[in-house]
Amino acid sequence: MSVKTPIRTVFDDDNNATGLAEYQSGEFIALTHGGTGASLSIGSAGQVLKVNSGASALEFGNVEAVLNIDGMTDGTSITVAAGDKVAISDGGTEKRINVSQLGPGLAGVPASAVDFSSATITGVTSITSGGITISGNQIISADSSIIDFGESVRIDGDLTVNSNDITLTTNTSGNILVADGSKFSSKAVSELSAIDTIASDDVLLAVDTSGGGLKKVARSVVVAGLATSSAISNLTEDSTPQLGGDLDVNGNDLVSTSNANIQLLPNGSGKVNLDGNGTSGGVSVTDGLIEIKTGSGSVAEQRFYCESSNAHYTSLKSAAHSTYSGNVTLTLPVITGTLATQSFSISQAIALG
């Protein structure tokens, strides 16, 4: 049977029927009268007749799969396996893939397009670019083991430590953390640079026991505090004072009060040595003995000055080394008088006798 051409009623300008005629190219019957609402030509293979995007007429177009997700069997409680299937549009072509294929595919998906807020992610071996933003949650270890970061970690915000300790793998007991301008390092106090003198405005660290914690304090404040606190402000408050070095009187005197004696009392067999070590020179004083030794090359000497501005003296010297055959003891007489010298006359000597 040959193709037939439909006919239509022809109307004049007054809408009066005047006859019949064949449909011409481009003419069609409106949807309100049971027609297609468009002048159609045959579509491509696989296309179907469907409503156009404007919902105003019919057209030929590709088939699009429609999945009724709400009508499917509820699977929200299942454990998704790597071999489970999901539907995907591959550039407009509907296909099925395994769940295991999603991981590599998500590597190119922007972080803003993926939300793992209620998911547990396992098996992540690397993040090649970008970052991980965690908002209001935690990075925790499910088995309470240590979470290792193989490289340096930069924290742009605050670091809050809920426990009491910051643990370093290279920690040494007694060390402190010292900033060097770019990082903190564990250092012993002995490794720090030393200063030879402490100026009045140098700063020390102190713990404020009134609740202020660790604070800085100037040396001048420490000195002033020692003078007004329970620390000693006078040597009399220390019953067993000891010197850590030489005592420099700085041009001053060692004095006593209330006419009290100044006692120099060495322990045991110790001696009071003046102007020397008591062996190669100096004057050594012990109970009942005064020893005058010389390191100058001259014999030891004792001088007794006159009463007039110390203008003259009488010297008592040891004999020279070459004249000795042994030690000499000179015993003073038990009577009042004047000692005779070699320059006295015989009559003077007899008178003394």
Please say whether the beta carbons of 140 and 120 come within 8 A.
no
Confidence check: pLDDT of 22 > 60: yes
- Cα separations in angstroms, 155 against 135, 152, 160: 14, 10, 11
Confidence check: pLDDT of 112 > 60: no
Average pLDDT over residues 318-325: 93
DSSP reduced 3-state for 86: strand
Average pLDDT over residues 75-91: 85
Number of domains in the chain: 2
Q: How confident is the model at residue 321 (pLDDT cuts 50, 70, 90)?
A: very high
Is 221 among the domain residues? no
Confidence check: pLDDT of 153 > 90: no
- Residue with token string 């004072």: 241
Question: Distance (Å, rounded) from C-alpha 136 to C-alpha 238?
Answer: 61
Tokens of 292: 């005058």
Stronger pLDDT, 171 or 137, i.e. the higher one: 171
Tokens of 155: 């924290």
Question: Distance (Å, rounded) from C-alpha 285 to C-alpha 264?
Answer: 10
Domain interval for residue 44: 7-61
pTM score, whole prediction = 0.36
Question: Distance (Å, rounded) from C-alpha 45 to C-alpha 36?
Answer: 20
Confidence check: pLDDT of 3 > 60: yes
State the DSSP code for 293: E
Is 11 among the domain residues? yes
According to the per-residue pLDDT averaged within each range, which of 18-27, 105-114, 171-180, 256-265 is highest?
256-265
Is 31 among the domain residues? yes
Tokens of 67: 């999945």
Average pLDDT over residues 152-177: 79
- Domain endpoint, select from 61, 86, 106: 61
Is 302 among the domain residues? yes
Is 153 among the domain residues? no
Q: Which range has the worst mean pLDDT, 43-57, 285-299, 302-316?
A: 43-57
- Residue with token string 């914690």: 213
What's residue 286's pLDDT? Answer: 93
Confidence check: pLDDT of 106 > 70: no
Helix-strand-coil split of the chain, %, nearest 5: 10, 20, 65
Q: Which amino acid is at 237?
A: E
Average pLDDT over residues 76-98: 84
Q: Which amino acid is at 261?
A: N
Is 46 among the domain residues? yes
Is 180 among the domain residues? no
Tokens of 342: 């070699």
Q: How confident is the model at residue 195 (pLDDT cuts 50, 70, 90)?
A: confident
Is 211 among the domain residues? no
Stronger pLDDT, 317 or 62, i.e. the higher one: 317
